[in-house]
Amino acid sequence: MMQYFEDDSEAWFRHVIENHFEEARKRAFSLIEEARLDENGCRVTDTEKPRKVRFLDRQLEAYRFIYCVLNREIASRDRVVRHRCHNRLCVNPDHLEIGSQADNKRDDWEHWAYGVDWDYL
Ligand SMILES: [Zn+2]
């Protein structure tokens, strides 16, 4: 089947997975190891924004890189990697999943609506 809407990040991920998989996998594991394990089981990076990784001339969010490489899945503009733990600094692959942009927005809303931490009120 022809794909008309493949953007270049999809092509890039496909190239990485098909041709540089071992190297990418090692890189993903070292990023996870460098991150600090917190009390929620999150692997958080000591950065203010989601940490970036540079690989094969491209810079992207480390969590996106890690999820796509370890699951051999290709993220695109419409299929985004989401944090089930709601911590955008987390790179724990067990806390990541792929979903649509719409899922992502709904998550944020639900977290905002129901995810209130009553202890801090
Ligand atoms: Zn997490």
End-to-end alpha carbon distance in the chain = 53
For residue 101, the model assigns a pLDDT of 76
Check which CATH number belongs to the domain holding 13 and give it: 3.90.75
- Confidence band of 100 (pLDDT split at 50, 70, 90): confident
CA 2 – ligand 1 centroid, Å: 36
108 occurs within a structural domain: yes
CA 58 – ligand 1 centroid, Å: 24
99 occurs within a structural domain: yes
3 occurs within a structural domain: no
Domain that residue 19 falls in: 8-120
89 occurs within a structural domain: yes
Would you call 33 helix, strand, or coil by DSSP?
helix
CA 5 – ligand 1 centroid, Å: 31
For residue 117, the model assigns a pLDDT of 47
> Rounded to an integer, what distance in angstroms lies between the CA atom of residue 99 and that of residue 77?
11
2 occurs within a structural domain: no
Question: Following DSSP, what letter does each residue of 14-28 receive, concatenated?
Answer: HHHHHHSHHHHHHHH
CA 39 – ligand 1 centroid, Å: 10
| Tally of domains within the chain | 1
State the residue for tokens 């989601």: 50
CA 64 – ligand 1 centroid, Å: 13
Is the CA virtual torsion 87, 89, 92, 96 positive or negative? positive
1 occurs within a structural domain: no
* The model scores a pTM over 0.95: no
**Contact assessment for residue 18 and residue 68, using Cβ atoms and an 8 Å cutoff:** no
113 occurs within a structural domain: yes
- Confidence band of 78 (pLDDT split at 50, 70, 90): confident
CA 43 – ligand 1 centroid, Å: 6
71 occurs within a structural domain: yes
CA 36 – ligand 1 centroid, Å: 11
Residue 92 has pLDDT above 80, yes or no: yes
Pairing type for strands 96-100 and 43-44 reads: unpaired
CA 3 – ligand 1 centroid, Å: 33
